[in-house]
């Protein structure tokens, strides 16, 4: 945890940001299965204050399930997946209509974007989302984003909106992530009400993380901290703060130390590598020998067929795969230039053998260095920095 002076400096730099993602949890938006109009009113006012200060704002808003389950006839937050999906179809349009009216009164339009894991995995859809969001921001509209809960099953989901908000920070090229929740931040000592004001990238927080969750929210503090650490990997600071406090957004951007702030990491990946790194699902694994491991890690080499010892999974060209060394550690992820079957046939062969073994060649590399991101424990390192 760093000293106050450094914190003040960090907060001042926040005062210069131009684009921020504000994530609002279900616990703020709804209570007892009913959407809280006063909370939406207050948030709209807060977001307007930020915009008046020159900051473009995107919102990631939870509460589709929390604000819809009563209308579905459930007396309490449902646990059945299909009931949650159905509740979300109701809650989502209600949320949007309330936000539309709260912002409408202030002469601002809102837009809805519902996304799932697939939209992030597919680079064309990912870029399409980026362009759409940038256009909305350019035209002064407030994008309001949620997971596409009604359609995505658990397999296809990002899962929690804290994570989704971190991804949206990347997709929208925002410079700050603010997570508003029902708690005031990460507590050093919950009983004494002491908040940890600043967290550095490598600080261990496990012992400070309460595992309590609200009944309708998904993530709890663990998800918030993991989202904050993800954003910090691409150089974006995150603030976790109490979303029930009025005027909080402007105070944060004015540089007041509020809640818990996660410092941005200094290890910035370029935009394409960020996209490779952020997806949490790989489609398969390529095992490599010690020589290939060394060449990739120490020399920033591409992955060539000669160093490959095994291929696990059935994946197409362009899929993201893990690269595992002979000690069983995944030390990198990357996008393949050949499909699994082709790589299996080429494994152990020299790059001069493509024509003889496959009968054709697209490129020499199985994974080009530009499509490869190194991972070291908790960190992701760019190969050619
Ligand atoms: N997408 C869910 C909803 O709007 C909430 C997910 C979460 O709480 O993280 O109901």
Query: Does one domain contain both 259 and 294?
Result: no
Query: Does one domain contain both 250 and 363?
Result: no
Query: Does one domain contain both 236 and 304?
Result: no
Domain total for the chain?
2
**What local confidence, expressed as pLDDT, does residue 384 receive?**
34
CATH number at residue 366: 2.30.130.10
**What local confidence, expressed as pLDDT, does residue 385 receive?**
31
Domain that residue 297 falls in: 281-384
C-alpha of residue 192 to centroid of ligand 1, in Å: 30
The domain boundary, picked from 238, 273, 308, lies at 273
**What local confidence, expressed as pLDDT, does residue 157 receive?**
79
The domain boundary, picked from 273, 292, 316, lies at 273
Ranges of residues in the chain whose predicted pLDDT is under 50: 1-3, 215-216, 379-385
CATH number at residue 60: 3.40.1160.10
Query: Quick one: tokens of 371?
Result: 């499509």
Query: Does one domain contain both 349 and 224?
Result: no
CA distance 292 to 299: 10
CB of 88 sitting under 6 A from ligand 1: yes
Query: Does one domain contain both 189 and 48?
Result: yes
Query: Does one domain contain both 266 and 291?
Result: no
Query: Does one domain contain both 17 and 149?
Result: yes
**What local confidence, expressed as pLDDT, does residue 376 receive?**
58
Query: Does one domain contain both 177 and 311?
Result: no
CB of 218 sitting under 6 A from ligand 1: yes
Q: Which residue of 28, 69, 79, 147 sits with most ligand 1 atoms within 8 Å of its CB, as the best mutation to test the pocket? A: 147
**What local confidence, expressed as pLDDT, does residue 380 receive?**
47
Query: Does one domain contain both 15 and 144?
Result: yes
CB of 175 sitting under 6 A from ligand 1: no
Query: Does one domain contain both 222 and 343?
Result: no
**What local confidence, expressed as pLDDT, does residue 240 receive?**
94
The domain boundary, picked from 208, 243, 273, lies at 273
**What local confidence, expressed as pLDDT, does residue 183 receive?**
86
Query: Does one domain contain both 260 and 288?
Result: no
Query: Does one domain contain both 366 and 289?
Result: yes
C-alpha of residue 133 to centroid of ligand 1, in Å: 20
**What local confidence, expressed as pLDDT, does residue 55 receive?**
94
C-alpha of residue 190 to centroid of ligand 1, in Å: 25
CB of 66 sitting under 6 A from ligand 1: yes
């Amino acid at each position: 945890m760093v000293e106050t002076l450094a914190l003040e400096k960090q907060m001042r730099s926040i005062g210069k940001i131009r684009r921020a993602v504000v994530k609002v949890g279900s616990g703020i938006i709804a209570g007892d299965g009913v959407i809280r109009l006063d909370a939406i009113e207050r948030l709209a006012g807060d977001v307007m204050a930020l915009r008046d200060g020159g900051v473009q704002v995107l919102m990631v808003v939870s509460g589709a399930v929390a604000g819809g389950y009563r209308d579905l006839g459930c007396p309490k937050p449902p646990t059945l997946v299909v009931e949650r999906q159905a509740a979300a179809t109701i809650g989502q349009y209600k949320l949007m209509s309330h936000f539309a009216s709260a912002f409408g009164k202030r002469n601002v339009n809102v837009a809805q974007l519902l996304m799932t894991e697939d939209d992030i995995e597919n680079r064309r859809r990912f870029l399409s989302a980026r362009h759409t969001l940038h256009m909305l921001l350019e035209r002064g509209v407030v994008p309001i984003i949620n997971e596409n809960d009604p359609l995505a099953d658990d397999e296809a989901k990002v899962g929690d909106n804290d994570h989704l908000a971190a991804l949206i920070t990347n997709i929208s090229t925002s410079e700050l992530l603010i997570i508003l929740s029902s708690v005031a931040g990460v507590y050093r000592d919950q009983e004494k009400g002491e908040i940890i004001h600043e967290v550095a990238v490598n600080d261990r927080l496990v012992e400070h993380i309460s595992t309590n969750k609200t009944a309708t929210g998904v993530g709890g503090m663990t998800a918030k901290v993991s989202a904050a650490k993800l954003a910090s990997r691409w150089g974006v600071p995150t603030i976790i703060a109490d979303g029930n406090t009025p005027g909080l957004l402007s105070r944060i951007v004015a540089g007041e130390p509020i809640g818990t702030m996660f410092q941005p990491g200094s290890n910035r990946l370029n935009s394409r590598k960020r996209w490779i790194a952020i997806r949490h699902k790989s489609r398969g694994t390529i095992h490599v020998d010690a020589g290939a491991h060394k060449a990739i890690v120490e020399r920033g080499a591409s992955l060539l067929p000669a160093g490959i010892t095994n291929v696990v999974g059935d994946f197409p060209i362009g899929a993201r795969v893990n690269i595992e060394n002979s000690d069983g550690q995944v030390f990198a992820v990357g996008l393949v230039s050949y499909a699994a079957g082709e790589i299996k046939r080429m494994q152990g062969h020299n790059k001069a053998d493509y024509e003889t073994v496959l009968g054709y060649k697209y490129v020499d590399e199985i994974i080009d260095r530009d499509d490869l991101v190194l991972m070291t424990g908790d960190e992701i390192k760019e190969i050619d920095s």
